[in-house]
Structure 1
Amino acid sequence: MDHEEILLTIAVASDLHAYRRPDDKSSTYQSPSKLCLSDTEENHLSHPFAGLNFLIGEEKLKADIFLCPGDMTDRAAPDGVKYSWDQIHQSGKLLGAKLTTATVGNHDIDSRETTLAEDPKELLQQLNPKYPLPDTNLTNEFWAQNFTLYQGDNYSLLLLNTCVKHGKPEELERGYITVHTLNQLKKRIDSAPLKAINILLCHHHPHQHSELSLGDHDVMKNGQLLIDSLALNGNWLIIHGHKHHPKISYAAGGASSPIVFASGSFSGNFGPEAETRTRNQFHLVDIVQLKDKPYAFYGMIRSWNWAFGSGWVRSIGGAVAGMPPTAGFGTRLHPAELAKIVASKMVRSKLKKWDELCKSIPELNFQLPQDYEQFKNILVMDYKLSVEEDQGAPSQVGIAK
């Protein structure tokens, strides 16, 4: 569209939980994921990575960077870590990504001493290509400071290790950024030549995410302080995993508070309640610049669901589908204000295409999913207008029936 430009596309696959099926599994054994090292990779309808690589070729998908917010393996399984690291690099190449990287998840380090590793981190430190980044200096900084800042062509990527205190039994269940790390991080971003697009990749959520009875005990310690620090230094998108429940929201703060994207799980299994309320998902995040709003931060998230026997298929939205097929972020106008503007465009028309409306009201496309739902309700209740959808995506606005 002539009123917007895609500046960066980010592929996101989180919480893979790759594992090897035990030979002596009991009758009560529950597999942690759908990514089993014992399964054949030949069928793209039954293997998540075979399916992803097929999807990339079939739909000619492209991404500038491929990010994994952690938990590549389950319970620190060494072969699971290596397998997932190899797989995301293979898929990254197919996407044309210039950078493929990940951050530390609680299942990626041997904090419970279940392996022969002498250091909880060495499973990751022994990986090839080098983890988390090919640059030795940045990798050394990551392990020494628990963060590092990578500068891309038009973006900054801050990698943060939130599992730094998982060697202590009382801290195993939550994320953590220490005050010292936070102070060092603030100094780094204060002095760095940050870009128009700034991304923080971490495993744990920096603010509460307790839907679906997922609990509130594992939120990142000092997460709000981190959010406040980022908000003072440009536009930020925080991408995290861990919860296995996809969600996009704005962090607490002012008008430029960071956008927080909780990625769905690529292949992990869910708890009893979440199993019927969400899906395994793969995401592409497009960072968009509106021509008349060069300082604002907008974007769209495209999502696919994994279904055994069907492979990766576009999400259709709804209460049990995780992220909808497309979801926006960046519009901070109240839904009632947007509904009023749309109604004013419908005075002489009973029906308008959604794309036509978006040309004159580009903010329509960049509403959060929860704001979009409220916007639709206000249109019906206050203006007797309804949004018609095609496969979960808005297609036109007309007189409510």
Structure 2
Amino acid sequence: MTQEHITFAVLSDLHAAPKSSDPKGTEVKLYSDGDSFSPHDNPMSSLHELIKHENLTADFVICPGDMTNRADAGALKFVWEQLHGLKERLSAQEVMATVGNHDVDSRGHLDGAFPREALMRLLPRFPIADDALADHYWAHGYFLTTIGQVRFLVLNSSWLHEHRDQLEHGAVTGYTLEKLRRDLAASTAADFNIAVCHHHPHVHSELDLGGDIMFNGQKLLDALSSNGAWLVIHGHKHHPKIELAQGEFQQPVVLACGSFSGRLEGPNATVSRNYFHMVQVERFGVDAELRGIVNSWNWIHGYGWTNYGTANATFPSRLGFGFEGNLLQLARDIVDAMGSQQLMKWDQMLKLQPNLAHLTPRKFKALSSALDAKHNIVISCDSTGLPFEFGVRVA
């Protein structure tokens, strides 16, 4: 049966490790050998409570890398098992994961092992149980597959991290790009196109976090844009963000995930928290445009996963993507929908103007300004800061 939307549960940058690696208790929030797994004890046990409380389900579980901290083999096994346990809890079809720089023993911590040995020993096979796809991933730096209505590209942007002079950047090699372009052109079009990688393929300029951009990242995005409308999901920065990639045609939407349970450092620690994301990608309109909604939660020790509203103003707990229309026209459509009413609830307006669900935070801010300045309409918010009601400003 054809689905009008597909849902992805996204956990990135878990950085799990054994307690012995963190004697001061300041570096790790998810211990792979912890003796307590009670609610709110750690982000994973809290997630089990959130899934139960919110009755969450997903079609796929996605992990864009850095499952462990400093390539700890035991922690890799622990997280891989946890991800597959989540697949069962969420009634998902598959776990789609890729390698992060912390998952590869590029600095030789493990004597007698080659850098990706612990990853290759995981069962079910990493990054996917299908032997042919897993072999392709390790041999060529990616795999491409279609499951139901979703075409997945899973890229190993840490492929060169077995060489010490390549440790500071992600990369997609010229060889991989050439082969990927051929494979994309030969593959069958799908309703939904999702690319998963660890490093950011274009500049992540906020807070000076973008210095280690993926080598050949823009070429990767260009290759994707020539073969459908894509959502690219990556980790690494521990700073959530969503925006349209550069390009002149069918630019991919790029979702930078927050860290599920990693340490936050520097200026980012004042902005971000730990995040779990539920991403719903939709077929919208007669042309089946790429649109979607992202719901996110923050983890707080002792409280678990909470709806944080607009505590992070640039990445609220509910946001959209994919609307590329005229915001001034959308403002006029909202005015027409209100008619003579002085107040209208957000949910009611959403039924009349579904484009509202697909605004990125910056576009929502621009729409709010246009409604206020040109039409004297104010969007009121609930206690968390999320939009709640449209109202005519009283003089």
TM-score (normalised: structure 2)? 0.94
Aligned pair 1:385/2:380, yes or no? Answer: no
Q: In structure 1, how many angstroms separate the alpha carbons of the residues matched to 2:25 and 2:267?
A: 15
SS in 1 for 2:200: coil
Q: Is 1:283–2:281 an aligned residue pair?
A: no
8 Å CA contact retained: 1:239, 1:260: yes
Q: Does residue 256 of structure 1 match 2:250?
A: yes
Partner of 1:245: 239
Determine whether 1:78 maps to 2:70. no
- SS, match of residue 134 in structure 2: helix
Distance 1:52 1:351, change over 3 A: same
Q: Tell me what 2:91 maps to.
A: 96
Residue 20 of structure 1 and its aligned partner are, at CA, apart by 1.5
Q: How far has the Cα of 1:168 moved from its partner? A: 2.7
Instruction: Provide the C-alpha distance between the structure 1 equivalents of 2:185 and 2:337, rounded to a whole number of angstroms.
Output: 44
Provide the residue aligned with 1:35 in structure 2: 30
Q: 1:32 and 1:6, CA in 2 relative to 1: closer, same or farther beyond 3 A?
A: farther
Q: 1:370 to 1:24 in 2, by over 3 A?
A: closer
Letter in 1 for 2:14: L
The answer for the alignment partner of 1:17 in structure 2 is: 15
Q: Distance in 1 between matches of 2:127 and 2:63?
A: 10
* 1:311 equivalent in structure 2: 304
Maintained 8 Å contact 1:213/1:273:
no
- Name the counterpart of 1:54: 49
On the 8 A contact 1:155/1:194 being kept in 2, the answer is no
Shift of 1:48: 1.1
Write the deviation string for residues 100-125 of structure 1: whole angstroms up to 9, x where unpaired: 13100000001111112521111100
- Look up the match of 1:151: 146
Taking only aligned residues, the RMSD between alpha carbons, in angstroms, comes to: 1.8
Map Cα deviations across residues 356-389 of structure 1 (whole Å, 9 max, x no partner).
Answer: 3223321111001111112112222222211122
Contact between 2:225 and 2:249, CA under 8 Å: does it hold in 1?
no
CA distance in 2, matches of 1:212, 1:236: 26
Q: Distance in 2 between matches of 1:76 and 1:365?
A: 39
Change (3 A) 1:23 1:396: closer
Q: Which residue of 1 aligns with 2:176?
A: 181
Q: Which amino acid aligns with 1:366?
A: H
Decide which of 224, 229, 235 is 2:218's aligned counterpart.
224
Amino acid of the structure 2 residue aligned with 1:304: W
Worse-matched range after superposition: 308-317 or 384-393: 384-393
Partner of 2:64: 69
Task: Give the Cα–Cα distance (whole angstroms) in 1 for the partners of residues 261 and 5 of structure 2.
Answer: 28
Q: Distance in 2 between matches of 1:44 and 1:6?
A: 34
Query: Following the alignment from structure 2 to structure 1, what is the Cα–Cα distance between the partners of residues 92 and 200?
Result: 25
- State how far apart, in whole Å, the 1-side matches of 2:5 and 2:242 are: 19
Distance 1:110 1:42 in 2: 28
Please give the alpha-carbon distance, in whole angstroms, between the structure 1 residues aligned to 2:17 and 2:202.
Answer: 29
Counterpart of 1:300 (choices 290, 293, 299) is 293
Alignment partner of 1:355 is 2:347: yes
| Equivalent residue number for residue 388 of structure 2 | 395
Q: Secondary structure at the match of 1:143?
A: helix
Q: Is residue 299–residue 366 contact of structure 1 (8 Å, CA) maintained in 2?
A: yes
Shift of residue 41 of structure 1?
A: 3.6
Deviation at 1:394, TM superposition (A): 2.0
Pair 175,55 (structure 1): closer, same or farther in 2 beyond 3 Å? same
- 1:293-349 Cα deviation digits (max 9, x unpaired): 3421111011111000001112312336x7322110110124333223223333422
The alignment status of 1:164 with 2:156, answered yes or no, reads no
| Cα offset, 1:170, TM superposition | 2.8
- Scaled by the length of structure 1, what TM-score is found? 0.93
Q: Is the 8 A contact 1:41 1:50 kept in 2?
A: no
Task: Report if the CA contact (8 A) 1:6-1:286 is conserved.
Answer: no
Q: Which amino acid aligns with 1:119?
A: F
Which amino acid in the other structure matches residue 357 of structure 1? M
Provide the C-alpha distance between the structure 2 equivalents of 1:149 and 1:260, rounded to a whole number of angstroms. Answer: 18
